[in-house]
Amino acid sequence: MTSPPLHCLRCGVLVTGFTGCPECAAEGLGVNAAPPLADLSGLSLERYPGGPWGWPGALPVSAGPVTLGEGGTPNVRIPLADAGAGELWVKTEGANPTGSHKDRAMSVGVAAALDAGADTVVAASSGNAGTAAAAYAARAGLRCVVLTARGVPDPLRAQIDALGAARVERDDHVARNAAMREGVERLGWYPLTTFAQPPAGGNAYANEGYKSVAYEIARDFGERIGAVVVPTCRADLLAGIGRGFRELRAAGLVSRTPRLVAAEPATGAPYTAALARTGRSAQEHTTVERGPSPAFSLGESRPVWQGLDALWRSAGHAVAVPTEEFMAEHRALGAQGLFVEPSSAVGVAAGRRWAYEHGEPVVVIGTATGLKDIASVPAGKAEERVPEVTRLTA
Ligand SMILES: [Zn+2]
């Protein structure tokens, strides 16, 4: 069966392929396309089982399910010192099969590849998307190519290799994207991520898998959440969550939806810079300097349009978090039993601020397990934690 058509989120033109809108790209803007919103009327949130395949009719695919049990992730409450503050919750996407939120997208993206009759999928990623693509391609019996830049962290390399994908290194992101374009255009591979410049966001069918995050939050918390905080770079997750809430509201399953908050490292915070400007055109064309950050999966020099759209539609906000603040949050989360990637700690730090400033319940999307990026974790001193270890004689 053919997949539904994709239209530009900004100008509405019909878009083919997964490199964003060519009309908007001519204006220098990376704008993703999307299928029509799904009609959820008649469904019951109480009976929603969670995950992208919990409501398969809300997905723009006919193949599938391609599933490893993704979604339905736990909500963990983080205690706040001040009783007058709101509530701080972390939705732990690290509990997904390959350890990140990307599983929700890749389970749907691989089904879309089956719809398209593909035998090989390709993802350009040195992070969570590559491992998720490898897992779901394996599950569906498709071949998978993961294009990485040099220096992919060991845990990710091992995960990609164990899952049977062909891992191909290129020197940098430019070379990686060029190889991906060739794989798609000359070799006929199905793209699960994008190689577009300016970046517009990921595969528009795959991104529909993120709507399930909104469905789960609405099912688990009702309408009492004031804000959902999302660590944001190219904004696939942020935009997908926004679309999920719009569908819920259009179907009357909720009467109000939370504000969306983009959390970014202060070393590269284009959404924060954009929203500080006046007028949509100025916001769209924002550029910032980008520095190195331990939150290696975040950081862009420009806002991606689908993210701005999600923030505008929800009367949302963006928060830039300095490195020392989110690394302190990373330690605070460890003290609560949560080991997340530094990018997730950026979100929790932003969510903590929001809970104190607004006094309302906040859900932060903890995007991935900390096991993906172990190099940024400082070694712990055993004798400071349990002094008696110095008295061990054996
Ligand atoms: Zn457009």
pLDDT in tens, 138-162: 999 999 999 998 888 889 999 999 9
Q: CA 12 to CA 200: how far, in whole Å?
A: 15
Q: Which residues pair with 191 in a beta bridge?
A: 122
57: helix, strand or coil: helix
Q: Measured in Å, how far apart are the chain's first and last C-alpha atoms?
A: 66
Distance 179 CA to ligand 1 centre (A): 25
Distance 14 CA to ligand 1 centre (A): 9
Residue 297 has a pLDDT of 63
Distance 25 CA to ligand 1 centre (A): 7
Average pLDDT rounded to a whole number, residues 45-50: 98
Calculate ∠ Cα 286-19-206, nearest 5°. Answer: 105
- Note whether 340 and 370 are within 8 A (CB): yes
- Note whether 67 and 139 are within 8 A (CB): yes
Residue 1 has a pLDDT of 54
- Note whether 34 and 11 are within 8 A (CB): no
Distance 241 CA to ligand 1 centre (A): 21
Distance 200 CA to ligand 1 centre (A): 10
Distance 32 CA to ligand 1 centre (A): 8
Distance 127 CA to ligand 1 centre (A): 28
Amino acid at 248: L
Instruction: Report the C-alpha dihedral over residues 249, 253, 254, 260, rounded to 10 degrees.
Output: -50
Average pLDDT rounded to a whole number, residues 123-128: 89
Residue 150 has a pLDDT of 86
Name the band, by pLDDT with cuts 50, 70 and 90, for residue 349: very high
Bond prior to 361 in cis (omega within 30° of 0): no
Average pLDDT rounded to a whole number, residues 100-105: 98
Please report the DSSP string for 171-194 in residue order.
SSHHHHHHHHHHHHHTT-PEESS-
Residue 285 has a pLDDT of 96
Listing from the earlier edge strand, what are the strands of the sheet with 14-15? 14-15, 6-8, 33-34
Distance 193 CA to ligand 1 centre (A): 19
Looking at residue 100, what DSSP letter applies?
Answer: B
- Tell me whether residue 272 is in a domain: yes
Distance 26 CA to ligand 1 centre (A): 9
Distance 303 CA to ligand 1 centre (A): 15
Average pLDDT rounded to a whole number, residues 212-226: 98
Q: Which residues pair with 340 in a beta bridge?
A: 369
Distance 306 CA to ligand 1 centre (A): 11
All residues at 6 or more sequence positions from 13 whose CB lies less than 8 Å from its CB, including other chains: 7, 21, 23
Whether residue 129 is predicted with pLDDT greater than 70 in this model: the reply is: yes
- Tell me whether residue 42 is in a domain: no
CATH number, position 356: 3.40.50.1100
Amino acid at 83: A
Other CB atoms within 10 A of residue 78 CB? 19
Q: Which two tokens stand for residue 164?
A: 């049977």
Please report the DSSP string for 2-23 in residue order.
PPPPEEETTT--EE-SSS--HH
Across the chain, what does the average pLDDT equal? 95
Distance 29 CA to ligand 1 centre (A): 8
Distance 202 CA to ligand 1 centre (A): 15
Distance 378 CA to ligand 1 centre (A): 45
Whether residue 47 is predicted with pLDDT greater than 70 in this model: the reply is: yes
Distance 280 CA to ligand 1 centre (A): 15
Average pLDDT rounded to a whole number, residues 250-277: 97
Whether residue 293 is predicted with pLDDT greater than 80 in this model: the reply is: no
Distance 20 CA to ligand 1 centre (A): 8
- Residue-number span of the structural domain to which 332 is assigned: 52-97+206-376
Distance 15 CA to ligand 1 centre (A): 8
Q: What percent of the chain has pLDDT over 90?
A: 87
Distance 281 CA to ligand 1 centre (A): 14
Residue 209 has a pLDDT of 98
- Tell me whether residue 117 is in a domain: no
Backbone Cα Rg of the chain: 20
- Tell me whether residue 161 is in a domain: no
Residue carrying structure tokens 């997730």: 344
Judged by average pLDDT, the poorest of 7-11, 182-186, 368-372 is 368-372
Q: CA 210 to CA 38: how far, in whole Å?
A: 13
- Tell me whether residue 211 is in a domain: yes
Distance 8 CA to ligand 1 centre (A): 5
Whether residue 223 is predicted with pLDDT greater than 70 in this model: the reply is: yes
- Tell me whether residue 6 is in a domain: no
Distance 263 CA to ligand 1 centre (A): 26
Angle between helices 211-221 and 236-250 (to 10 degrees): 60
Q: CA 197 to CA 181: how far, in whole Å?
A: 11
Distance 21 CA to ligand 1 centre (A): 5
Residue carrying structure tokens 């035998």: 119
- Tell me whether residue 131 is in a domain: no
Distance 326 CA to ligand 1 centre (A): 35
Bond prior to 65 in cis (omega within 30° of 0): yes
Distance 27 CA to ligand 1 centre (A): 9
Helix boundaries (H) for 222-266: 236-250
Residue 296 has a pLDDT of 64
- Note whether 77 and 103 are within 8 A (CB): no
pLDDT in tens, 311-345: 999 999 999 999 999 999 999 999 999 999 999 99
- Tell me whether residue 347 is in a domain: yes
Distance 369 CA to ligand 1 centre (A): 35
Whether residue 373 is predicted with pLDDT greater than 60 in this model: the reply is: yes
- Note whether 84 and 360 are within 8 A (CB): no
Domain total in the chain: 1
Q: CA 238 to CA 229: how far, in whole Å?
A: 9
Name the band, by pLDDT with cuts 50, 70 and 90, for residue 375: confident
Q: Which two tokens stand for residue 45?
A: 């949130």
Average pLDDT rounded to a whole number, residues 282-290: 94
Cα–Cα distances in angstroms (integers) from residue 220 to residues 17, 87, 213, in the given order: 35, 14, 11
